[in-house]
Amino acid sequence: MTWPPGWRRTRGGSTGSSLLDLDRLQRGVVEPALGPTDVGALAKSVLDGLEWLPRNRIHEDLGSVVVPIDAAKVERILENLLVNANRHTPRTPMSGCG
């Protein structure tokens, strides 16, 4: 798979930094930055940022649900899930997000 130029640097971060973040959260070194977030809007924003992802493989059913989450962390999780689902699943439509 070819990644769009700069995607890892600007959107996804690295696996190593994600693991370090998780370790820091588990040890209580950092606290999640919780705030009311519309998860449907966040998922839509993530999808919009992954414009190279084939849309014929995604079923978007994004309702509005506001919950207290760390939006930056959840955004990274959604990006990773969508990219990995695209990379590791047969070429059929994906469901989810919402």
Instruction: Give, in order, the Cα–Cα distances in Å from 55 to each of 2, 21, 73, 81.
Output: 17, 30, 24, 15
Q: Which residue has the higher pLDDT, 1 or 13?
A: 13
**Count: domains in the chain:** 1
Q: What is the pTM of this model?
A: 0.64
Instruction: Write the pLDDT tens digit of every residue in 20-75.
Output: 666 766 777 778 889 999 999 999 999 989 888 887 777 788 889 999 999 998 99
98: in domain: yes
6: in domain: no
Report the Cα–Cα distance between both ends of the chain, in Å, rounded: 26
61: in domain: yes
